[in-house]
């Protein structure tokens, strides 16, 4: 079973003469344990595609299936609890780490668990374990202002992993990092995809950051115009 299935996904903003097609007829699948990139320049439709898969931005047309559950077919399917599905099946990593400044690294991860009704003790144990696995055991009680950019992004990754999601969506997760830290974060995502058997879909415009990815989809003007495997990015025609 695929973790992500997208069929002819299309998103149109506006109507009539003012209509703008942000993404058109996107079709692809991502398996559990795969690290897949959506590569393209700014304005090409990458983030629109990610937010549609992430149950944030309703598709105009097409189908979306997350972890075997159909969520969209010519719009959201009726009766869906989108908030619950996002909490239980999806993890999000953004360009800005979006850590809560008055909470410690540990508390920033715990809050994601407590929203899903874990007890404080359970949340503390799970968050501590996650941060230690990301080499942040010595930073549990540090506030975001005391963390480096790479450390902050690893806390954000721990938060995304907190509820053991089947799908992790990352929107330009290395854009605010230098090259070395950016590559370290991407290598970490690859490791986590395999170890947690999660599908990780990364939106980026930076070719340097996709070495070692399982597959790369190139997006141009709202369309997927090519696919490559084995972590080697090249131009498509």
Query: Which pLDDT belongs to residue 230?
Result: 52
Tell me, yes or no, whether 225 lies in a domain: yes
Is 132 within a domain? yes
pTM for this entry: 0.88
Domains contained in the chain, number: 1
Q: Judge whether residue 231 has pLDDT over 60.
A: no
Collect all residues with Cβ–Cβ distance below 8 Å to 65 and sequence separation of at least 6: 2, 4, 5, 6, 71
Is the pLDDT at 232 greater than 60? The verdict is no
Q: Is residue 2 part of a domain?
A: no
The pLDDT tens digits for 127-169 are 999 999 888 999 999 999 999 999 999 999 999 989 889 999 9
In this prediction, residue 237 has a pLDDT band, given cuts at 50, 70 and 90, of: very low
In a domain? residue 54: no
Per-residue pLDDT tens over the stretch 94-132: 888 899 999 999 999 999 999 888 999 999 999 999 999
Q: For 12-44, how does the pLDDT look when each residue is reduced to its tens digit (9 = 90+)?
A: 999 888 999 999 999 999 999 999 999 998 888
Q: Judge contact between 218 and 227, C-beta under 8 A.
A: yes
Average confidence score pLDDT of the chain: 90
Angle, helices 120-133 vs 149-161, to 10°: value is: 130
- Copy the structure tokens of residue 171: 């929107």
Q: Does 126 map to a domain?
A: yes
Residue 57 lies in a domain: no
CATH of the domain at 126: 3.40.50.300
Range of the domain at 210: 34-47+79-229
């Amino acid at each position: 079973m695929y973790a992500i299935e997208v069929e002819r996904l299309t998103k149109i903003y506006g109507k009539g003469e003012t209509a703008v097609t942000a993404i058109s007829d996107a079709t692809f699948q991502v398996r559990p344990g795969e690290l897949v990139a959506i590569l393209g320049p700014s304005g090409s439709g990458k983030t629109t595609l990610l937010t549609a898969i992430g149950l944030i931005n309703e598709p105009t047309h097409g189908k979306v299936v997350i972890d075997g559950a159909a969520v969209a077919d010519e719009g959201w399917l009726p009766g869906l609890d989108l908030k619950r599905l996002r909490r239980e099946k999806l993890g999000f990593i953004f360009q800005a780490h979006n850590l809560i400044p008055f909470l410690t690294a540990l508390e920033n991860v715990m809050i994601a668990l407590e929203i899903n009704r874990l007890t404080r003790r359970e949340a503390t144990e799970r968050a501590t374990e996650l941060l230690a696995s990301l080499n942040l055991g010595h930073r549990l009680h540090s506030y975001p202002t005391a963390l480096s950019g790479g450390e902050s992004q690893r806390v954000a990754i721990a938060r995304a992993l907190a509820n053991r999601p089947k799908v992790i969506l990352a929107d330009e997760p290395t854009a605010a990092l230098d090259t070395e830290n950016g590559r370290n974060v991407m290598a970490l995502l690859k490791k986590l995809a395999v170890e947690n058997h999660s599908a990780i879909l990364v939106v980026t415009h930076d070719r340097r950051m996709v070495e070692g990815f399982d597959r790369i989809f190139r997006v141009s003007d709202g369309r997927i115009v090519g696919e490559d495997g084995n972590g080697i990015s090249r131009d498509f025609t």
